[in-house]
Structure 1
Amino acid sequence: MINLFEHYHQPTQLLHQTLIQAGFQNFTICLEDDGFLPQNVTSPYQFFAANQLYDNDQPLFFNEVDIPPYWEIVGDHHGAKIKDMGQTRGEIVYRPHDKTRIVSHVRWLDQHGRLRSIDHYTQYGFKFAETIYDLDGTAIFKKYLTSDRKEVIYENDVTGDYVLNWQGQTYFFDSKVAFITFYLQQVQVDLSDIVINSLSTPFLVLYHMNWTGRGGLFWQEESQGQVPGNMLALLDREQSRRFSVMIPDKQEYENIVAQLPPEQAVNVHGAGYLYHFDKTNQQSKHILTLTNSDEMPHLEELVTANPAWHFHIAARTEMSSKLMAFDQYPNVKLYPTAKKDTFSQLYQLCDIYLDINRGNELENAISRAFYHQQLILAYDETVHHRPLIAPNHIFSVDTYTKLNQLLDDIDANPHAFEQRIEQQLQHAHHIERDHFVQLVTKVFQK
């Protein structure tokens, strides 16, 4: 069995981790390589580039980007700019959720501030791709480079053509589907059983190639009230002998099935995700918030109305005098310039996460809180990651008193606390391991 993914974004990561936890250690391909794929994921770029990697390879730090003489790099925690005599000529974008200012890509601007190209970097520190833009800011082509700067793949965004330079020969393809089909023929893996999570390129490749295996589509998107045309094609009489659809979102599953005739609906199954939690919620009265901002609406009211709860507020940076003033309250503890170990200790200590800070999410905080089984409560105006927060745990800033009431309820009733945690798990489509294993096994034994 193999996984054939298009993008390795957060939903794909979750699906991949779920399959691994269920015991399906599938060979995994991601068609779009962003330079930071996990070690257990490969791509067409990696196969054709065949880069020689070394143990001492390191990601590129923001001030290591090559720039012309006399230009300068000015950066902070959020990003960096490349300046020429005060004019911004480049923007350095960091790898998301990486606190060490690792370079993901660099946006190069002309003298009029127009985007002209993007350099894409890998986790090993070298530029592996370059995208070129026209004067209107539209991408026109992208070329992929080996670690020794040889062009290996050329992608024309205007015509859809691909050119591959590989093993001393040049190959031409009139579409991405044709290019990926060639790749699958060369990579020599067993294509009998394939997991996909996209009705775009992965499905189109299987649909158009002479493929006779069995497939499972994990549908992680929203259909917007209508069954996608490619899903209907997948579920037609001939394809349904080989394809099944698994949908983790319960509401989306019900919406899809309600629109299908019985002979197609039988091949659509409700699914879910497995999570490897770092701890069990102990229902302690310790609340955590990570922030680099002092804008936390109604924090004072929450602190004074809940003297039995201990509020732990941590930041990577120094705290403003406004935030430091909360040190006067006996149930507040502040952690300015907190280090990695401090964050880890706070996640172990606290059982509630309060997502009420304006500004950027710090340290992938919501995901980490979820995996520590903290009950996550948020303001609608400041919420940072809705997929992991139950809708009834999100309050308007103007109705913060309802958040106060929730804290009172779970303080007085341990069962209410447990119910809230269960609602959070249901919203995140949690499923028992045995159920998931039985589902996947059934799909690939049909």
Structure 2
Amino acid sequence: MVFLMDHPSREAALLYGSLKKAGYSFRTVAFEDDGFLPEGVESPYRELCGRKREETAVPRYFSRLQVPDGWEIRSTGTEGNIWDYDTKRAQLVYAHPASRRFLQTVNWLDSAGKNIWQDHYDDSGELYARTTCDAEGRPVLKTSYAASGEECIVENLQNHTMLLREKKEDGTLTSRLFPGKVELVLYYLEKTKADCDRIFFNSLSYPLFAQRRLRMEKRTPHPEKNDLAEVPFGGDVLFWQEEIGERLPGNMVTVLNDPQGVNGIAVQSLGVYEKIQAQIREHAAENGIVNAERAAKIIAPVGQIYSFSGTVKKEKTICILTNSDAVEHLAELADALPEFVFHVGALTEMSAKLMAMQKKPNVRLYPGMSEKLGEKLLEENEFYLDINHGNEILDAAWNAYLRRMVIFAFRETAHERAYAAEENILPSACWAQMAEQIRRAAEHSQEKDRLLYRQDVRAMRRNAEDYRRLLGG
């Protein structure tokens, strides 16, 4: 069994973890390598180039980047730049979460501010690839390096061909030219003798193309004829983790009409699942679906198996994490809930406007807090309010859900609607109603448990038995 991952993302990592928790044994191969792949996920680039991650290796902190004499690195909590007096020479892109300021990419600039080249750093702090750009700053070639520093894979970003240089057993170099990324990954799967009797994949792009090539070329047994034939999703499975537009994606329709071994499409968002079923039910012809009844049957809502922590909370405590001083109705909520303690944390310094809130006896402020302190606030507090404008920090709503906090949000400020009960996402004008709902949940354990259950429904919480019932053994 193999899981073909399109690119690293939180959703892909969640699926990887869910399949592991459900007891499946499989290899995971990623088509894109950003240098910070989760442990256990294979990168054909890294493996074919012979780069191994040392256990003691750490990512490169931004200040460890060498720059010419007289140049200066200036960094905030989330972004950085390299300056030659008043001329910007480079932009620093940090790996997620940006607050740790570990280098992922350095975009070197010309005097006009256009990209010259991009240096890519991995989770060992090593320069593992470089992308060169044309005169307009557009990426042209990406070169991945071997551990020795020699060129290993050269990807033409214009025509998508890939040149692999690798050593034979006798030490001589050989070169292979692949038409594209799919062919490189197929070569890697064959070279490493991957067992592709079943294929899980999470994209209608490269992973789908590879799945269909494997089935059409009959390199592996056709899953519909194996011992999983009676299981609902017993063959290959597409895990859909994206949104959809007004119509179904063309490649999804292709899979529905001509499965090529795909026995099911597992949709990992409840809202998206409902949209897809509505498209099949009401607009099958417009979408080009040949057999709407069959299409509806092979699509199912399949959530994630989550790992929770921080279940012991301090009663009547509220957490808000923000780098913005625009926190909707904070003063009114603090006044309406005087028996609650509001803990407001920011990775940056706070403005005078927000600092003025510390005059209220039930508000605690944490300007310039560490990431560790932010995690502690999420662990200890009972409620999370997603009511700040601007960017979300520390994946706050997501981490609040994993720490069994009851989440409330305003429609105008909600960053992660998938983890809050729908009834807890209110218009900002209804702040008084929000205060009353918070008080009711704090004073009645059954109400709090009900809201946590509604969050689980929204987040499509599943367990190992759910996975194995649908996917088989």
- Normalising by the residue count of structure 1, what TM-score does the alignment of the two structures yield? 0.91
Q: Deviations over 1:52-84 (max 9, x none)?
A: 443432211112223233222111212111111
In 2, the alpha carbon distance for the partners of 1:154 and 1:100 equals 30
Equivalent position of 1:226 in the other structure: 247
| Structure 1 spans left out of the alignment, 5+ residues | none
In 2, the alpha carbon distance for the partners of 1:411 and 1:365 equals 21
Match of 1:382 among 413, 421, 436: 413
Q: CA 1:297–1:252 in 2, change beyond 3 Å: closer, same or farther?
A: closer
Equivalent position of 1:118 in the other structure: 118
Equivalent position of 2:288 in the other structure: none
Q: CA 1:396–1:281 in 2, change beyond 3 Å: closer, same or farther?
A: farther
1:246 aligns with 2:266: yes
Match of 2:186 among 177, 181, 185: 181
* Equivalent runs, 1:11-410 vs 2, <5 Å: 11-167=11-167, 168-209=173-214, 210-211=217-218, 212-213=220-221, 214=223, 215-236=236-257, 239-240=260-261, 243-254=263-274, 255-256=276-277, 258=281, 259=284, 260-280=291-311, 284-339=315-370, 342-410=373-441
- Tell me the SS of whatever aligns to 2:100: coil
Equivalent pair of 1:378/1:393 in contact (CA under 8 Å): yes
Return the offset for 1:411: 4.3
Q: Deviations over 1:276-322 (max 9, x none)?
A: 11143769311111233333232111101111222112234554443
Q: CA 1:319–1:176 in 2, change beyond 3 Å: closer, same or farther?
A: closer
In 2, the alpha carbon distance for the partners of 1:136 and 1:55 equals 40
Return the offset for 1:47: 1.5
1:417 aligns with 2:448: yes
Q: Deviations over 1:415-439 (max 9, x none)?
A: 3333322222222121233112211
Opposite residue 265 of structure 2, the aligned amino acid is: V
Q: Deviations over 1:94-137 (max 9, x none)?
A: 11215331111111111011122221110101111122222334
Equivalent pair of 1:18/1:273 in contact (CA under 8 Å): yes
Q: CA 1:302–1:249 in 2, change beyond 3 Å: closer, same or farther?
A: same
In 2, the alpha carbon distance for the partners of 1:223 and 1:100 equals 33
In 1, the alpha carbon distance for the partners of 2:258 and 2:71 equals 62
Q: CA 1:281–1:229 in 2, change beyond 3 Å: closer, same or farther?
A: farther
Match of 1:429 among 455, 460, 463: 460
Q: Deviations over 1:374-419 (max 9, x none)?
A: 1122233433333333444333434433322432443454433333
Return the offset for 1:337: 4.3
Equivalent pair of 1:283/1:417 in contact (CA under 8 Å): no
In 2, the alpha carbon distance for the partners of 1:350 and 1:124 equals 35
Equivalent position of 2:231 in the other structure: none
Return the offset for 1:238: 6.4
Equivalent pair of 1:281/1:372 in contact (CA under 8 Å): no
Q: CA 1:208–1:155 in 2, change beyond 3 Å: closer, same or farther?
A: same
In 2, the alpha carbon distance for the partners of 1:264 and 1:6 equals 24
Equivalent pair of 1:163/1:172 in contact (CA under 8 Å): yes
Q: Deviations over 1:215-250 (max 9, x none)?
A: 11111223324333323333446625x532222233
Moved more, 225-234 or 121-130: 225-234
Q: Determine what percentage of the aligned residue pairs are the same residue.
A: 31
Return the offset for 1:251: 4.0
- Tell me the SS of whatever aligns to 2:142: strand
Equivalent pair of 1:121/1:129 in contact (CA under 8 Å): yes
Equivalent pair of 2:310/2:380 in contact (CA under 8 Å): no
Opposite residue 418 of structure 1, the aligned amino acid is: D
Moved more, 169-178 or 428-437: 428-437
Opposite residue 423 of structure 1, the aligned amino acid is: R
Opposite residue 91 of structure 2, the aligned amino acid is: E
Q: CA 1:407–1:340 in 2, change beyond 3 Å: closer, same or farther?
A: same
Equivalent position of 2:469 in the other structure: 438
Opposite residue 253 of structure 1, the aligned amino acid is: Y
- Tell me the SS of whatever aligns to 1:99: helix
Equivalent pair of 2:99/2:347 in contact (CA under 8 Å): no
In 1, the alpha carbon distance for the partners of 2:295 and 2:394 equals 43
Backbone CA RMSD of aligned residues:
2.4
Equivalent position of 2:232 in the other structure: none
Equivalent position of 2:228 in the other structure: none
Q: Deviations over 1:169-199 (max 9, x none)?
A: 1101122222222222112111111110111
Q: CA 1:391–1:110 in 2, change beyond 3 Å: closer, same or farther?
A: farther
Equivalent pair of 1:281/1:373 in contact (CA under 8 Å): no
Opposite residue 131 of structure 1, the aligned amino acid is: T
Equivalent pair of 1:104/1:120 in contact (CA under 8 Å): yes
Equivalent pair of 2:22/2:463 in contact (CA under 8 Å): no
Question: What is the number of equivalent residue pairs in this alignment?
Answer: 441
Opposite residue 455 of structure 2, the aligned amino acid is: Q
Equivalent pair of 2:118/2:130 in contact (CA under 8 Å): yes
Equivalent pair of 2:166/2:174 in contact (CA under 8 Å): yes
Opposite residue 424 of structure 2, the aligned amino acid is: H
